[in-house]
């Protein structure tokens, strides 16, 4: 059976938005296919690369992500759900790998160059971000990593590191491959891609009033000025979201909108989106709140996941130490 490793950072408040929800749904599908052994990691050390000076409570963010993972369908009985910092072997392997990674490999990574310019991040830890990510993956000898396009350069580095390790020491690690599963594009309320840093997001746990407010204020097709003007659904973020949350209605709506039907304006689309979103998210929100109401139980689940992960990681590390002729 192939091993799959996925990871998300507990950044910001740790509350995930609809874009993250689609990613999670694809992970849940992979889990439920029964074809893979799944490790789902909450990468809190990675979150520190950008948030090292934000002293909000990290445990709260981690609990939030964990509750949302599980409420979205990741199942601790089927997947190993754990916190990166509960498995110290990630740090040990990161250190050992750092001995064989040439700095220019890391300086070439687009996310490094980008953030160095935009955020002025120039720490040692940030440069080493892809090395830690490689350690996350290969410490489980994972074959597959479900990622978006933005992560492909990190995966390429992980493969280069594996090749170098296997050549220098012993042939221990498989080369991890990216698994680009289909995740639909989720626009934010301003019609840019939904993202944490744009303030255009709808949270998975957003309350009813705020869903209504955000959707009613959402951009639509800018060329459709009045009811009765023909619209372009493919330019409209409300329509893009309807395709996901009310798929059975979209053919009909597309025809009405394109024809500039006088009875069917943007407000009707928005109201339909509000009711479909509320219906979809309600069970999720309830389950999430239930999980968060019992943090002790949640901690237990994560601890158990951490133990399973550690066992596997330690078995790899034994091979690594031996291959490198360490103690």
The length of the chain, given as a count of residues: 327
Is 193 a catalytic site residue? yes
Task: Quote the DSSP letter at residue 228.
Answer: T
Cα 171 to its chain centre, rounded Å, is 31
Minimal distance, residue 151 CB to ligand TRP, in Å: 6
Pair 143, 159: CB distance under 8 Å? no
Q: How many CA atoms lie within 13 A of 242 on its CB side?
A: 24
CA distance 217 to 188: 11
CA distance 41 to 84: 6
By C-beta, is 6 or 276 nearer to ligand TRP?
Answer: 6
Minimal distance, residue 23 CB to ligand TRP, in Å: 9
Does 24 help bind ligand TRP (rule: CB under 6 A)?
no
Tell me which residues in 1-20 interact with ligand TRP (CB under 6 A).
Answer: 5-7, 9
CA distance 173 to 162: 6
The catalytic residue among 25, 88, 115, 268 is 115
Tell me which residues in 139-178 interact with ligand TRP (CB under 6 A).
Answer: 145, 147, 151, 154
The catalytic residue among 54, 113, 193, 303 is 193
What tokens were used for 309?
């992960």
By C-beta, is 23 or 273 nearer to ligand TRP?
Answer: 23
Does 28 help bind ligand TRP (rule: CB under 6 A)?
no
By C-beta, is 125 or 260 nearer to ligand TRP?
Answer: 125
CA distance 167 to 270: 57
CA distance 99 to 112: 19
Interacting stretch for ligand TRP, rule CB under 6 A, among 50-58, 132-140, 165-173, 230-238? 132-140
Does 64 help bind ligand TRP (rule: CB under 6 A)?
no
CA distance 273 to 246: 7
CA distance 167 to 81: 32
Interacting stretch for ligand TRP, rule CB under 6 A, among 112-120, 130-138, 254-262, 295-303? 130-138
Is 115 a catalytic site residue? yes
Q: Which residues of 161-188 are buried (b: 16+ CB within 10 A; e: fewer)?
A: bbeebeeebeeebbebebbeeebeebbb
Does 302 help bind ligand TRP (rule: CB under 6 A)?
no
Does 97 help bind ligand TRP (rule: CB under 6 A)?
no
In the complex, which residue's CB is closest to ligand TRP?
A: 7
The catalytic residue among 78, 88, 196, 243 is 196
The residues assigned a catalytic role are 115, 193, 196
Summarize as ranges the residues that interact with ligand TRP (CB under 6 A).
Answer: 5-7, 9, 43, 46, 133, 136-137, 145, 147, 151, 154
């Amino acid at each position: 059976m192939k091993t799959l490793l996925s990871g998300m950072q507990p950044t910001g408040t740790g509350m995930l938005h609809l874009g993250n929800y689609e990613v999670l749904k694809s992970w849940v599908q992979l889990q439920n296919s029964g074809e893979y052994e799944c490790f789902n990691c909450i990468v809190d050390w990675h979150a520190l690369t950008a948030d090292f000076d934000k002293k909000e409570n990290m445990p709260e963010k981690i609990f939030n992500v964990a509750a949302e993972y599980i409420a979205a369908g990741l199942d601790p009985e089927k997947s190993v759900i754990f916190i990166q910092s509960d498995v110290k072997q990630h740090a040990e392997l990161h250190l050992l790998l750092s001995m064989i990674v040439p700095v220019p490999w890391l300086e070439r990574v687009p996310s490094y160059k980008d953030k160095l310019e935009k955020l002025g991040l120039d720490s040692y830890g940030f440069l080493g971000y892809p090395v830690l990510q490689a350690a996350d993956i290969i410490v489980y000898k994972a074959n597959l990593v479900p990622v978006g396009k933005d992560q492909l350069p990190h995966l390429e580095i992980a493969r280069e590191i594996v090749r170098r390790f296997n050549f220098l020491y012993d042939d221990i690690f498989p080369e991890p491959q990216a698994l680009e599963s289909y995740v639909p594009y989720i626009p934010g309320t301003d019609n840019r891609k939904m993202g944490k840093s744009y303030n255009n997001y709808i949270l998975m746990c957003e309350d009813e009033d705020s869903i209504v407010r955000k959707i009613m204020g959402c951009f639509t097709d800018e060329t459709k000025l009045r009811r009765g003007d023909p619209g372009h659904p493919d330019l409209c973020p409300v329509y893009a979201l309807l395709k996901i949350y009310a798929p059975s209605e979209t053919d009909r709506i597309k025809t009405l909108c394109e024809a500039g039907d006088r009875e069917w304006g943007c407000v009707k689309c928005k109201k339909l989106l509000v009711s479909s979103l509320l219906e979809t998210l309600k069970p999720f929100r309830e389950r999430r709140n239930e999980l968060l109401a019992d943090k002790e139980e949640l901690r237990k689940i994560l601890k158990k996941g951490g133990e399973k992960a550690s066992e596997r990681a330690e078995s790899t590390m034994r091979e690594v130490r031996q291959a490198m002729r360490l103690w």
